[in-house]
Structure 1
Amino acid sequence: MAQERIAAAGNTDVPAYLTLTKLGYLVERINRDGQEHWTAKKGTLELIADGPLVLLGLSMLRTERGSGWQADDSEIDEFLSRFHPSSAGP
C-alpha cells in the first residue's frame, strides 16, 4: 500500500473548515485592527487560532483530553526530554 502524506498547507483549510462544521462548530474569521484570527464555537467552548487547520487541532485536543487538556509536569518533562533534550530538567 502506498504511503499517504498530508502537509499543512493552504489546501487543508477548506477540508478543516468542513470538518469543524460537520462536528457542530460555528466557524468565523475575524479581522480586527489588521489582525486576523479564526474562532470555532460549540456550546460553551470557544477555540481561537490563526486558521481552520489549527482550530481543528484544538478541537481534537479538547475532544481527546477533555476539560483537563493541559499537560502535567511529568508530560511536559517527557516531551522536553524527547524533543528538546538540552531544555529538560535534571
Structure 2
Amino acid sequence: ADACLFFIDRLSGGEAVNAGAGMDISIGELARLIGKISGYGGRLVFDTTKPDGMPQKLLDVSAMQKLGWAPRVSLEEGLRKTCEWYAQGTAGSRGEKA
C-alpha cells in the first residue's frame, strides 16, 4: 500500500512500475522461508515432472528507484507479518462445525 500511495502522485498514467526489493529468490528458497516463518514442520516436495515456469522471479525495479521509493519492509518481515495476520484472522475458526 505504501508504494501505491507514493506512486499515485508521481505518475501521470499509463506507466508501469514494479514495486519490490530487487532481489532474486528461487521458488524453493521462498517456499522454505515461508515454511520456517509459519512453523511448518513437514517436508517440501517439488514435482519435477510438471512444468515449473520461471525458476526465479526478479522484478526490474529501476523505475521505482528513479522515482525515489524503496521498500521499508524486507521480504522476510513482510511474510512474517502476513503469517501473523492470517493466524489471527483464522484463530478459533479451524475445526469448528457450522
Output the TM-score relative to the length of structure 2: 0.23
Q: Which has the higher strand share?
A: 1
Larger RCO, structures 1/2 (Cα 8 Å, 6+ apart): 2
Question: Larger C-alpha radius of gyration, 1 or 2?
Answer: 2
Output the TM-score relative to the length of structure 1: 0.24
